[in-house]
């Protein structure tokens, strides 16, 4: 079972206690299953958990394949980071590939579930660290994280909402469709 990234475990073994670091460049993605709360009220607990497990197992395999870091799931939300805890030059492209593949998986391999995702991505500086004593967690903080979350919540169902920063990095590598300005809290 992986509770913490391997690199973080190694650091904590050699230097137990507090761990925090800043990454000047990282890419954060949030994905949310649309109308999941309504669906969860209609399903039995075993069926609900089995469905979520099926979805998140597929996403976990994809994250491993693309060497991205699953940060956490919160209910039906899934958070991924690229460029942490190990920096890499292609972190934004790798996260974009994951987002595209997640949407594809939901339409094809998991199409029988009839569910759709809303996805948001942003890149920039973040702070990462381990918090907690008994149930510790490797987590991320900062405006980049908040903005990625806002991109998801303001996104279009079945699409991937990215910021100008993501677009600027990837415009020569991926196809984009302009959406126009959107009002985002705190921006």
Q: How far apart are CA 115 and CA 78, in angstroms?
A: 14
- Selected catalytic residue, list 76, 121, 126, 160: 76
90 is catalytic: no
Torsion of CA 149, 46, 157, 168, to 10 degrees: 40
Q: How far apart are CA 138 and CA 19, in angstroms?
A: 9
Q: Are 120 and 96 in contact (CB under 8 A)?
A: no
- Selected catalytic residue, list 8, 32, 80, 126: 32
- Selected catalytic residue, list 33, 71, 80, 126: 33
32 is catalytic: yes
The gap between the terminal CA atoms of the chain, to the nearest Å, is 38
76 is catalytic: yes
Write out the H or E segment, with its range, that includes residue 46.
Answer: helix 45-65
Give catalytic residues, as residue numbers. Answer: 32-33, 76
């Amino acid at each position: 079972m992986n509770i913490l990234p391997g690199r973080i475990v190694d650091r904590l073994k050699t230097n137990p206690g507090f761990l925090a670091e800043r990454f000047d460049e990282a890419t954060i993605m949030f994905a949310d299953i649309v109308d999941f709360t309504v669906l969860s009220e209609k399903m039995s607990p075993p069926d609900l958990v089995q469905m979520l497990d099926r979805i998140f197992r597929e996403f976990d395999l994809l994250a491993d394949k693309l060497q991205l870091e699953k940060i956490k799931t919160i209910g039906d939300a899934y958070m991924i980071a690229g460029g942490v805890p190990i920096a890499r030059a292609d972190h934004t492209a790798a996260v974009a590939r994951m987002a595209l593949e997640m949407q594809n998986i939901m339409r094809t391999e998991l199409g029988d579930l009839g569910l759709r995702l809303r996805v948001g991505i942003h890149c920039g500086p973040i702070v990462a660290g381990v918090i907690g004593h008994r149930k510790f967690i490797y987590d991320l903080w900062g405006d980049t994280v908040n903005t990625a979350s806002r991109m998801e919540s303001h996104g279009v169902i079945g699409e991937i909402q990215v910021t100008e920063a993501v677009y600027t990095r990837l415009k020569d590598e991926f196809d984009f469709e302009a959406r126009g300005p959107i009002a985002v809290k705190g921006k």
